[in-house]
Amino acid sequence: MYKKRLSPEEKIHFIEKYKRGEGSYASIAADAGVDRRSFRQWVCNYDACGPDVFFKRHHQRYSVEFKETAIHDYLSGVDSQDAICRKYGLRSRR
Model-level pTM?
A: 0.64
Q: State residue 17's pLDDT score.
A: 95
Total number of domains in the chain: 2
Which has the closest alpha carbon to 7: 59, 51, 44, 50?
A: 51
3, part of any domain: no
d(C-alpha 71, C-alpha 84), whole Å = 9
65 and 27 part of one domain: no
48, part of any domain: yes
What's CA 56's distance to the chain center, in Å? Answer: 13
| Residue 57 DSSP label | -
Helix and strand element counts for the chain (H, E): 5, 0
pLDDT in tens, 61-76: 888 898 888 888 889 9
pLDDT in tens, 29-45: 999 999 999 898 899 88
Inter-axis angle of helices 25-32 and 8-19, nearest 10: 150
77 and 39 part of one domain: no
70 and 49 part of one domain: no
Domain ranges, residue 84: 58-88
Q: State residue 48's pLDDT score.
A: 79
